[in-house]
């Protein structure tokens, strides 16, 4: 979701990019960055190509080497039928 509460696009890649922007903003508010994350948990709605989400994650992660542990779950749905991805990040600062 965008900060105004609207859902971003209809592709997994678009929603993953926005979810990572949201995670980045939350981390920044705590004085952290994506690279302070020690564990990622990602839920993807079945029927959507995980490779799109992985590519979007790679764009955000950049050339920082291997990311920490990532668990990916394929789920039948999320809180709203419009939601295609949910990302949970645990950071240590």
pLDDT digits (tens, 9 = 90+) for 12-53: 999 999 999 999 999 999 999 999 999 999 999 999 999 999
Instruction: Give the tens place of pLDDT for each residue, 42-79.
Output: 999 999 999 999 999 999 998 888 888 999 999 999 99
Phi-psi domain of 85 (left: phi exceeds 0; alpha: psi -120 through 50; beta: other):
beta
Numbers of helices and strands, H then E, in the chain: 2, 3
Domain at 12-91: CATH code? 3.30.1330.40
By CB atoms closer than 10 A (0-12, 13-18, 19+), residue 63 is exposed
**Count of Cβ atoms closer than 10 Å to residue 44 Cβ:** 23
pLDDT at 4 over 90: yes
pLDDT score at 38: 95
Contact assessment for residue 53 and residue 13, using Cβ atoms and an 8 Å cutoff:
yes
The Cα 20–Cα 89 span in angstroms is 10
């Amino acid at each position: 979701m965008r900060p105004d509460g609207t859902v971003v696009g209809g592709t997994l890649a678009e929603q993953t990019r926005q979810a990572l922007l949201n995670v980045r903003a939350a981390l920044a508010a705590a004085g952290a960055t994506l690279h302070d994350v020690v564990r990622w948990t990602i839920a993807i709605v079945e029927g959507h190509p995980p490779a799109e989400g992985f590519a979007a994650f790679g764009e955000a992660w950049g050339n920082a080497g291997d990311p920490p542990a990532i668990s990916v779950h394929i789920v039948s749905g999320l809180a709203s039928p419009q939601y295609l991805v949910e990302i949970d990040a645990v950071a240590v600062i």
